[in-house]
Amino acid sequence: MSVLIRGNPGDTHLMMGNEAIVRGALEAGISVAAGYPGTPSSEIIETLARLSPNTDPDNYPDIYTEWSVNEKVALEVAAAASFAGLRSLAVMKQPGVNVAADFLMHLALSGVRAGMVLIVADDPGALSSINEGETRLYAKLMEIPMLEPGNFQEAKDMTCWAFELSERLNMPVLVRTVTRLSHASGSVTLGTLTIPDRRAFFRFDGEVLDPMEGPIMTPPVEIKHRSQLAKLDQAAEIFEGSIFNTYEGPEAPELLIITTSICDLYSREVVNLYDLGNRVGILKLGTTWPLPSRTVLERLKTTRKVLFIEEVQPFIEEAVKVLFAGSDMVGQGMAGSGEAGSGTPGSGTAGSGMARPGIAFYGKLSRHIPMAGEMNPERITRALETILDLAPGLNGGYPVGQAETLPIPPREISFCPGCPHRASFFSINMVLALDNRRGFTCGDIGCYSMGMLPGGFSTLKTLHSMGSGSGLASGFGKLGRFGMNQPVVAVCGDSTFFHSAMPPLVNAIHNKSAFTLVILDNSGTAMTGFQPHPGLPVDTIGNQVPSIDIEKVCRAMGALTRTCDPFDLETTQQYLLDCINDPEGVKVLILKQACALSPQKRHTRSFEVKVDKELCIGDACGCNRICTRIFSCPGLIWDGESLRAEINEVLCVGCGVCASICPSNAIVLKEI
């Protein structure tokens, strides 16, 4: 970590992509950074928080770092710093841009002052998300410049340069990273740290249209929009000479790969592995919006076949095809008529009877690359095999027929041993089943999203965006007049409550909807690494701050609110029953118990847990193995030999909940 502050210029260090981004921001001399946690972006703000002046005032930069309540507010907090003359960073995962998009659109139009960079981490393949949303289209939609680092060094260098670009254009600049870069590590050679003059002052007395001295707002819209578009043209011009756009390969390649982001490393890997360096060239674009059109067209002129390697949507593929269609490479009367741009495999000439140069475009649109899912070397290999007619099966491995391994069970993700969510979902599930009116639970975003899986008893029946469980429940809760009598439950976490469940709760109370909101309060933004939120008495860097009491907030709104410990199954189930039996209004049940991995709980045990082999009578019990088959905590084992339950002593964290589900009282607790 200290390398980020103490590393000397010119030194090379192994850094995670997200750390390289942090170093780039420090080299640019940022003063303010704000974000909302979300995999794979969280380490950026987290790292900056650790480097805060609180820890070591003599050695650390004076940066204000904030975990904001949601991404829109984070973007606003960062923009305020820029308006007041300080370089600032906003950080989020892709779905966060959807939340921040309203402000972003206006910010793009109003412009910024000191350099302001928005880092967005996409998650192609949904490795830790419930979508594989694409941020790059926002650059086009919002009309702002975008950079896409292709390796660890560029993650640092581009982040740093993005601030300079932002100041040249007075525009926010988007830097788009992906999981495989943000969470991977590689070599980074350091540059020089900048210690800026950090005096903040917001000027507003100048002319309305003066970007540096006037008020900052979007009207007069048409004039501002024209100026925004002119700045975007200027960005394209700057991009033409950018060192972040590179070409490697023969002067006239048989196939030109156009790629960006981490896909560049996959492309290189495959070209090297199959020794195709004399046939295939790679144009790597780092400045991907607006496209540097001359750079691209010059390369198109040298080849007859182009393959696009990018993730997830065919963003560059479409942009380049549009560029090609409007270029002098397409003769009069040919645009849109021939197969140029059609992606027809193997064709390089026109089909309308007239010989002319054409380009066959391959990629997602031609289905040579799958439209969904993340990129990897194999997808590129398969595309190259088809396009270049390579012998298949270059992958190696085992002789045919010898690679079959044993049938091995999948490893579903689930709640950790001692996780309060397992207990909470066990109770919700139990109560809805007892009620027998086919009640259901609307899910939300957090570790508790796993409530949709068998490990969470498949409790969740809807799962969408942050806060949507409560919004959907608000809607379901109004359907009684149309005959719906199913009890409606929504869950949300403590951090999610503040992020975006409060407005739907207000909506539901005001509109007299009927449902039960269960707030799974585990004392932190647990899934992403225990970032603090407004419900806790500490801020991002550990200072004491006022906390906002969820229970009081809900009461003030007018909801019938109760709190209990989800490990107390009996009380929890009784409260839940009371809630769903009340047909009127919004009820809130706060199930409060800290996450098993939280710093305050980790390595502590409440109980020593043992199975009494005399009392556990296994299959003869009639419990149908409720502890392992239903509750299925990873801390429990069903011993196939003795046909009894057992405790996995390595994994059990001693929460003691399983003891209260065993009908034979065979799980014995000893207080530690």
| Interacting residue ranges for another protein, rule: CB under 8 A | 12-14, 39-40, 127-128, 151-153, 179-181, 183-187, 262, 265-266, 268-270, 272-273, 376-378, 381, 395-399, 402-403, 405-416, 447, 449-450, 454-455, 527-528, 625, 628-630, 632-634, 636-638, 648, 650-651
Closest CA to 423 of 549, 603, 606: 606
Question: Would you put residue 602 in left (φ > 0), alpha (ψ -120 to 50) or beta?
Answer: beta
Q: How many residues does the chain have?
A: 672
First to last CA, the chain: 36
Nearest approach, Cβ of 317 to another protein (angstroms)?
20
Q: Of 124 and 487, which CB lies nearer to another protein in the complex structure? A: 124
- DSSP 3-state of 645: strand
191 vs 214 by CB, closer to another protein? 191
CB nearer to another protein: pick between 276 and 564: 276
Least separation, in Å, of the C-beta of 572 and another protein?
A: 22
Q: What's the min distance (Å) between Cβ of 540 and another protein?
A: 20
Q: d(Cα 254, Cα 250) in Å, to the nearest integer?
A: 9
By the 8 A CB rule, do 123 and 129 touch?
yes
Burial environment of residue 404 by CB neighbours within 10 A (0 to 12, 13 to 18, 19 or more): exposed
Tokens (6 digits) for 346 = 């193997």
Minimal distance in Å, beta carbon 423 to another protein? 16
The helix (run of H) or strand (run of E) holding residue 141 is helix 136-142
Q: Nearest approach, Cβ of 575 to another protein (angstroms)?
A: 27
- Min dist. Cβ of residue 390 to another protein (A): 14
- For another protein, the closer of residues 12 and 55 by Cβ is 12
As a three-state string, the secondary structure of 18-83 is HHHHHHHHHHCCCCEEEECCCCCCCHHHHHHHHCCCCCCCCCCCCCEEEECCCHHHHHHHHHHHHH
Smallest separation, CB 185 to another protein (Å): 4
Q: Which is nearer to another protein, 651 or 661 (CB)?
A: 651
Nearer to another protein, 521 or 646 (CB): 646
Q: Partners of 490 in the beta sheet?
A: 442, 517
SS3 for 182? helix
- Shortest Å distance, C-beta 528 to another protein: 7
Which residue, among 186, 187, 68, 182, has the nearest Cα to 127 in the 3D structure?
182
Instruction: Pick the closer one to another protein by CB: 130 or 365.
Output: 130
DSSP letter (8 states) at residue 658: G
Distance CA(264)–CA(151), nearest Å, equals: 8
C-alpha to C-alpha distance for 649 and 608, rounded to whole angstroms: 9
What one-letter code names the amino acid at 104? Answer: L
297 versus 630: smaller Cβ distance to another protein? 630
Q: Are 590 and 550 in contact (CB under 8 A)?
A: yes
User: What is the closest distance, in whole angstroms, from the C-beta atom of residue 450 to another protein in the complex?
Assistant: 7
The least distance separating another protein from the CB of residue 413, rounded to whole angstroms, comes to 4
Please, which residues bridge with residue 90 across strands? 34, 118
118 SS3 class: strand
Distances (CA, A) of 79 to 88, 156, 199, 218, 445: 7, 21, 16, 14, 27
Residue 236 beta carbon to another protein: minimum distance, rounded to whole angstroms: 28
Residue 483 or 640 having the CB closest to another protein? 640
In the complex, minimum distance from the CB of residue 471 to another protein, in angstroms, rounded to a whole number: 22
Instruction: For residue 489, give every residue at least 6 positions away whose Cβ sits within 8 Å of its Cβ, in sequence order, or none.
Output: 428, 432, 439, 440, 441, 442, 473, 515, 516, 517, 518, 580
Question: Between residues 331 and 454, which has the closer beta carbon with respect to another protein?
Answer: 454
Q: Report in angstroms the alpha-carbon separations of 65 from 198, 200, 236.
A: 14, 16, 32
Choice between 213 and 412, CB closer to another protein: 412
3 state SS of 668: strand
Find the shortest distance in angstroms from Cβ 648 to another protein: 8
For the chain, count helices (H), then strands (E): 19, 24
Of 408, 428, 316, nearest to 362 (Cα)?
316
Q: Distance between CA 511 and CA 461 in Å, rounded?
A: 23
Of the two residues 281 and 290, which places its CB atom closer to another protein in the complex?
281
- Which CB atom, from 59 or from 337, has the smaller least distance to another protein? 59
Nearer to another protein, 43 or 539 (CB): 43
Task: Locate 45 and state its tokens.
Answer: 């703000």
**Nearest-approach distance from CB 456 to another protein, in angstroms:** 10
How far apart are CB 460 and another protein at their closest, in Å? 14
Minimum CB distance to another protein, residue 382 (Å): 11
Q: Which is nearer to another protein, 439 or 455 (CB)?
A: 455
Q: Tell me, what DSSP letter sits at residue 525?
A: B
CB neighbour list of residue 510: distance below 8 Å, 6 or more residues apart: none
Distance CA 325, CA 305 (A): 15
- Residue 41 or 293: the one with the smaller Cβ distance to another protein is 41
Half-sphere exposure (Cβ direction) of 46: Cα atoms closer than 13 Å: 17
The answer for residues whose C-beta is within 8 angstroms of residue 302's C-beta and 6 or more apart is 251, 252, 253, 256, 281
